[in-house]
Structure formats: structure tokens, C-alpha cells
């Protein structure tokens, strides 16, 4: 997980160049390979990797050309397969992918939600390929991860990217707690008391009333805090009055959650720009942020970068065990249909599966090589602690197709900048005991049926996001909450409830 999905996980924009150079300077003319008998040369099977996995987050400009060629030759020699990386244009990866899928362009594998592509006939089921060439992939992922890859007929459409995880913890400046003689908060009242102290007592010591008690966003307040107010957390729920599945807005406690967030916002406890675009890294650099409830990597990846510029002792720690009136504050992210898929256009699907499977062999060695080439090494004998061997990454990961918890939780960087992120992944991300799980977390809803049976589904989704922001920021008074619920019904919420309930009852196990 080099960055957010996902959904999970908000990836960095990729470069607009196809890095497909080979020894002849043309990625479509592979180097010939001799047969074992010394007979005529034969052309290796080419596989075309659409690199939208997020692997290039570590180096968005891509590899040094000769290092990319070195890695291509490595796979040609090791597997007898010639990989060709297609790096999509900046800011339009999905658009470019759809154009390629609908044209004569070669594209064999990419990352996507399989249910978005299976119904369109763009990808193929993988059962037989996994049985024949993907045994290491099958062993690497737990059974529940495969459930998200499988349709009602038992067809497996993708290779998992992740599994249920905790993505929105609450981080707090523990050095500020010590400075103000405060204990780590264990409930909502104590959490609010800490925010109040951060706001009023100038823990950053700049003499100004500009401390930001909490940096967050819309997903942050829902996934990190809503569980303390709603029995099922940030989740749909079953209304016992009619046994129908309903959205969180109709659950007991939602109005209290919204009112509390609005109160915190008006008191200045929540960053004023939380629900518009802002740069978390630049905000952290100001040494004014007391807490964060955003996606975990907003701290694990960003804070270590700027820590040397902050006062000595600056530290963020996770608030563990905190609860509200309805229990745990956090809601875990369920598994998803995000996966590596193989297209119907693939001329050598067996080679694609062999290539992916290779990165699941000898975990984490092969997956690390796919990510960093030869620019890494183990620091001990345990095949767990690693470090990068060069200050600058030369191979960016264009051929990496094994991103996900099955490989990324098997190593940790012995590096002050990367260690915090690795420690979160290996020690915290899969600890589901600290969070609530959505009640329909195992349901893969049929998106086509949702669109067909809820014509206004997108309007309802938009209302749910936009109006929540309005209530929290005070643009709409809490007194209009009942009017908001009526708005949802006018937008087709009855149809929403009927269709989601139908699918939930049909698909639940």
C-alpha cells in the first residue's frame, strides 16, 4: 500500500509515457531467445501491463530507462515472458483504460473493480488459470479475500488487492498531551476535552490562536467517529420495525452524530477547510495539527517526512480503545472488488497469470524486487526487515502487480521515513477488534441492478454527501434534519431501500 486505494486505497497521478523500451529501442520487437537445444530462436510471449496499481506512487516520473530495461530482461530470463508496461496519462488513467479496452490496443492486465468490467465482457474468469498457474496466489490470500472476487456462480474474476482493514484511526500529538498534562482520551467526552485544550492552550507555542485540534475530511469523520453514535457505525443497518436494510441517515443516533460534528466545527475543533481541497502535508508542516482522523497514510507517510523540521519530541500516536455511547468509534473498511484482472483481449492469459504468480513466490523477495528492482536488501536473516540501498529510486515499479496486504504485510522498512507506514500495516491495519464492521461487509451489490432499479441512485449518493457537509459546516441548520430525510425520500429513497434490501437478503450468508 504505497498510498490510498482501495477503496481503501487516493493514488498519486502517474506519468504520461509508455515505458516500453527494450534493447532495440522498440517495445514491440522483443529480443530473440534461443531454445534449449540451440535451435532456431523464438519470440517470447509479450504481456501488456496497464500500470494503474499505484506502484508508481514512490516515483511518479517512472524508472531510469536503463533500469527499466534491466528489469524487463530479468523477467525475460527468469520467466521467458516479456513484460511491457503501459503508464497512463496524468489524471486520466480510467479514461485511457476504457479507450484501450474498446480499441485494438494491447492491454492484458490492470487493476480495477472486477464487477465493473465482468458485466461488460471486458475480462475473463480466472478459476482455471489460478488452478494451473496461480497456486502461490491462491495460498497467499485468506478465504474471505477470495469471497470478494467470486460471483454467485462461483466464477473468480480477480486477484485480491486487499481485505477488511482499519484505515481511519485517530492520531494525536502525544507530546502535546504531555505538555498540557493530559491523558490519552478513552471516550468522546475526554476526546472533546483534549480538542478544547489544544484549541485554547497554544500547545504549539507560537503565541497565536491558530491551533487545529483535528485534521479530517468527510470519510474521516464517518469512519473514525460515527461508530460512537450508531450501533452499526458507518454502515447500512437493519430496521427491526420492518426488517429492511436502510442507510445510516435513518439509524438512531445519526442526528446526534451530525449535531456533535457541527458543534465541534463551530468551536474550531475541526479544521475549517476539512471538506474542501487542502494539502495535508503542507498543513502538518505548520506544526499546528493536534489530531488526524483521515486515511492512515496522511500521517504514516507524511509526518515522518517533516518530523525533522518540527520541534524535538514531536510525535503522533494512535488513540486506542476509545469508545462513545454506542461503542467503538471506528468503522473498519470492508473488503472490496478491487483486484488485478486479465482482459478478454489477452493473447497469452497463461503468461499473465504466471507473471503475477511469480511475485507471490518466495514472499516478500519477489514482490520487493518487482517494486524496487535491485535497489533494496534485507538487513538481517529474518527476511522481514529491509532497506533501500540507494538514496534515489532508479526502478519505479512498472512491473509490480502484487500490491496488497498479502505481500506488503510481510516486510518492514528499516528506515525512519518508511518505518511508521510499515509498522501501521504490519501491526494495526488488520486489527479488526478495534473497530466495527459494516453489517453488509460481505455483500457484493450488483451495480447494474442498482442503477436499473434505483434510477436516482446517483442523486441520492450526492445528497448524502453534500448535505452532511452542509450540516457539519453550519450551512444548513440541524433543525432542518427532518426536511433532509424527506428530501431523500423525494429523491427515491423508498426504491433505494427496496433494492438494497432485496439484494442483501438474496446475497447474505
Q: What is the pLDDT of residues 275-309, one digit of tens each?
A: 999 999 999 999 999 999 999 999 999 999 999 99
- 3-state SS record for 34-59: ECCCCCCEECCCEEEEECCCCHHHHC
Cell of 150: 467470486
CA distances (Å), 75 to each of 20, 71, 80, 247, 367, in order?
14, 6, 7, 48, 13
Q: What is the pLDDT of residue 41?
A: 59
Q: Are 158 and 236 contained in the same domain?
A: no
Question: CA–CA separation, 272 vs 168, rounded Å?
Answer: 19
Q: Say if residues 394 and 67 touch (Cβ distance below 8 Å).
A: yes
Rounded percentage of the chain residues whose pLDDT exceeds 70: 92
For the cut 90, the answer to whether the pLDDT of residue 380 exceeds it is: no
Q: Are 346 and 323 contained in the same domain?
A: no
For the cut 90, the answer to whether the pLDDT of residue 92 exceeds it is: no
Which stretches of 181-231 are assigned E, i.e. beta strand? 212-215
What range defines the domain where residue 282 resides?
171-328
Q: Is residue 390 part of a domain?
A: yes
Structure confidence at residue 417 as a pLDDT band (50, 70, 90): confident
Q: Are 88 and 193 contained in the same domain?
A: no
pLDDT digits (tens, 9 = 90+) for 20-29: 222 233 333 3
Q: Helix, strand or coil for residue 357?
A: helix
Question: CA–CA separation, 229 vs 433, rounded Å?
Answer: 18
> 269-285 burial by CB neighbour count: b if 16+ within 10 A, else e?
bbbeebbeeeebeebbe
Q: Say if residues 305 and 279 touch (Cβ distance below 8 Å).
A: no
Q: Are 317 and 178 contained in the same domain?
A: yes
Cell of 247: 442507510
Q: What is the pLDDT of residue 8?
A: 33
Q: How far is CA 186 from the centre of its chain?
A: 27
Q: Helix, strand or coil for residue 377?
A: strand
Question: CA–CA separation, 453 vs 433, rounded Å?
Answer: 36
304, 328, 352 - which closes a domain: 328
Q: Are 184 and 323 contained in the same domain?
A: yes
Structure confidence at residue 419 as a pLDDT band (50, 70, 90): confident
Q: Is residue 318 part of a domain?
A: yes
What's the CATH number where 102 sits?
3.40.190.10
Q: Are 183 and 135 contained in the same domain?
A: no
Q: What is the pLDDT of residue 54?
A: 87
Structure confidence at residue 14 as a pLDDT band (50, 70, 90): very low
For the cut 50, the answer to whether the pLDDT of residue 169 exceeds it is: yes
Q: Are 254 and 357 contained in the same domain?
A: no
Residues 73, 74, 77, 78, CA torsion sign: negative
Average pLDDT value for residue range 194-220: 97
Question: CA–CA separation, 404 vs 418, rounded Å?
Answer: 16
Mean residue pLDDT of the chain comes to 90
Give backbone dihedrals phi and psi of 33, rounded to 5 degrees, phi first: -125, 135
328, 346, 372 - which closes a domain: 328
For the cut 60, the answer to whether the pLDDT of residue 493 exceeds it is: yes
For the cut 50, the answer to whether the pLDDT of residue 11 exceeds it is: no
For the cut 60, the answer to whether the pLDDT of residue 235 exceeds it is: yes
Q: Is residue 176 part of a domain?
A: yes
Q: How far is CA 201 from the centre of its chain?
A: 36
Cα–Cα nearest to 261, from 271, 251, 250, 248: 271
pLDDT digits (tens, 9 = 90+) for 104-115: 999 999 999 999
pLDDT digits (tens, 9 = 90+) for 125-153: 999 999 999 999 999 999 989 999 999 89
What pTM, to 2 d.p., does this model score? 0.81
Comparing 177 with 60, the larger pLDDT belongs to 177
- The CB-side HSE value for 501 (13 A sphere, CA atoms) comes to 16
For the cut 90, the answer to whether the pLDDT of residue 245 exceeds it is: yes
Residues 315, 316, 320, 323, CA torsion sign: positive
Tell me whether strands 41-42 and 33-34 are parallel, antiparallel or unpaired: antiparallel
Q: Helix, strand or coil for residue 480?
A: helix
Structure confidence at residue 56 as a pLDDT band (50, 70, 90): confident
Q: Are 159 and 110 contained in the same domain?
A: yes
Structure confidence at residue 438 as a pLDDT band (50, 70, 90): very high
Rounded percentage of the chain residues whose pLDDT exceeds 90: 80
Q: Is residue 474 part of a domain?
A: yes
Q: Which of 125-129, 156-160, 272-276, 441-445 has the lowest mean pLDDT?
A: 441-445
Q: Is residue 19 part of a domain?
A: no
Residues 6+ apart with CB under 8 A from 137: 130, 159, 353, 356, 357, 360
Comparing 391 with 189, the larger pLDDT belongs to 189
Q: Is residue 4 part of a domain?
A: no
The total of structural domains in the chain comes to 3
Question: CA–CA separation, 149 vs 155, rounded Å?
Answer: 8
Q: Are 99 and 176 contained in the same domain?
A: no
Residue located via cell numbers 476526546: 191
Q: Are 125 and 223 contained in the same domain?
A: no
367, 389, 413 - which closes a domain: 413
Cell of 236: 447500512
Cα–Cα nearest to 373, from 24, 107, 74, 2: 74
Q: Is residue 120 part of a domain?
A: yes
Q: Are 83 and 192 contained in the same domain?
A: no
Maximum distance among all Cα pairs of the chain, rounded to whole angstroms: 83
Q: What is the pLDDT of residue 91?
A: 76
* Top mean-pLDDT range of 146-155, 216-225, 405-414: 216-225
Q: Is residue 181 part of a domain?
A: yes
Q: Are 159 and 192 contained in the same domain?
A: no
Q: What is the pLDDT of residue 6?
A: 35
- 3-state SS record for 263-276: HHHHCCCECCCCCC
Amino acid at each position: 500500500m504505497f498510498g490510498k486505494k482501495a477503496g481503501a486505497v487516493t493514488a498519486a497521478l502517474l506519468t504520461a509515457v509508455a515505458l516500453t523500451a527494450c534493447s532495440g529501442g522498440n517495445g514491440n520487437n522483443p529480443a530473440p531467445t534461443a531454445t534449449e537445444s540451440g535451435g532456431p530462436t523464438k519470440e517470447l510471449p509479450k504481456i501488456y501491463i496497464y500500470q494503474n496499481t499505484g506502484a508508481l506512487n514512490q516515483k511518479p516520473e517512472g524508472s531510469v530507462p536503463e533500469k527499466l530495461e534491466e528489469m524487463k530482461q530479468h523477467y525475460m530470463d527468469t520467466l521467458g515472458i516479456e513484460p511491457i508496461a503501459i503508464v497512463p496519462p496524468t489524471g486520466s488513467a480510467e479514461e485511457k483504460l476504457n479507450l484501450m479496452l474498446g480499441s485494438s490496443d494491447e492491454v492484458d492486465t490492470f487493476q480495477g473493480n472486477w464487477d465493473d468490467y465482468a458485466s461488460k465482457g471486458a475480462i475473463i474468469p480466472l478459476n482455471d488459470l489460478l488452478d494451473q498457474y496461480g497456486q502461490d496466489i491462491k495460498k497467499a490470500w485468506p478465504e474471505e479475500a477470495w469471497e470478494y472476487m467470486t460471483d454467485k456462480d462461483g466464477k473468480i474474476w480477480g486477484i485480491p488487492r486487499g481485505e477488511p482493514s482499519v484505515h481511519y484511526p485517530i492520531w494525536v500529538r502525544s507530546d502535546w498531551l504531555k505538555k498540557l498534562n493530559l491523558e490519552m482520551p478513552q471516550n468522546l467526552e475526554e476526546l472533546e476535552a483534549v480538542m478544547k485544550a489544544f484549541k485554547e492552550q497554544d500547545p504549539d507555542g507560537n503565541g497565536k490562536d491558530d491551533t487545529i485540534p483535528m485534521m479530517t475530511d468527510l470519510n474521516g469523520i464517518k469512519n473514525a467517529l460515527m461508530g460512537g453514535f450508531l450501533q452499526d457505525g458507518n454502515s447500512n443497518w437493519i430496521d427491526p420495525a420492518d426488517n429492511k436494510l436502510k442507510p445510516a441517515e435513518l439509524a438512531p443516533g445519526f442526528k446526534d452524530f451530525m449535531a456533535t460534528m457541527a458543534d465541534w466545527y463551530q468551536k474550531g475543533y475541526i479544521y475549517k477547510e476539512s471538506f474542501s481541497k487542502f494539502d495535508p502535508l503542507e498543513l502538518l508542516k505548520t506544526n499546528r495539527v493536534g489530531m488526524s482522523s483521515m486515511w492512515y497514510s496522511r500521517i504514516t507517510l507524511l509526518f515522518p517526512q517533516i518530523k525533522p523540521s518540527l520541534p524535538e519530541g514531536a510525535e503522533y500516536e494512535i488513540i486506542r480503545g476509545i469508545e462513545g455511547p454506542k461503542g467503538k468509534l471506528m468503522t473498519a473498511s470492508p473488503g472490496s472488488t478491487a483486484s488485478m484482472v486479465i482482459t478478454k483481449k489477452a493473447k497469452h492469459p497463461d503468461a499473465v497469470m504466471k507473471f503475477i504468480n511469480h511475485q507471490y513466490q518466495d514472499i516478500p523477495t519477489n514482490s520487493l524486487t518487482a517494486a524496487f528492482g535491485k535497489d533494496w536488501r534485507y538487513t538481517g536473516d529474518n527476511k522481514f526487515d529491509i532497506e533501500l540501498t540507494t538514496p534515489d529510486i532508479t526502478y519505479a515499479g512498472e512491473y509490480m502487480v502484487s500490491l496488497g496486504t498479502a505481500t506488503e504485510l510481510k516486510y518492514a522498512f528499516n528506515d525512519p521515513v518508511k518505518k511508521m507506514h510499515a509498522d501501521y500495516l504490519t501491526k494495526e491495519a488488520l486489527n479488526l477488534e478495534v473497530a466495527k464492521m459494516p453489517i453488509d461487509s460481505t455483500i457484493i451489490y450488483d451495480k447494474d441492478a442498482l442503477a436499473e432499479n434505483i434510477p436516482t441512485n446517483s442523486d441520492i449518493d450526492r445528497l448524502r454527501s453534500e448535505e452532511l457537509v452542509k450540516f457539519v459546516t453550519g450551512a444548513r441548520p440541524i433543525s432542518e434534519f427532518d426536511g433532509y430525510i424527506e428530501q431523500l425520500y423525494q429523491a427515491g429513497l423508498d426504491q433505494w431501500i427496496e433494492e438494497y434490501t432485496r439484494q442483501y437478503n438474496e446475497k447474505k450468508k
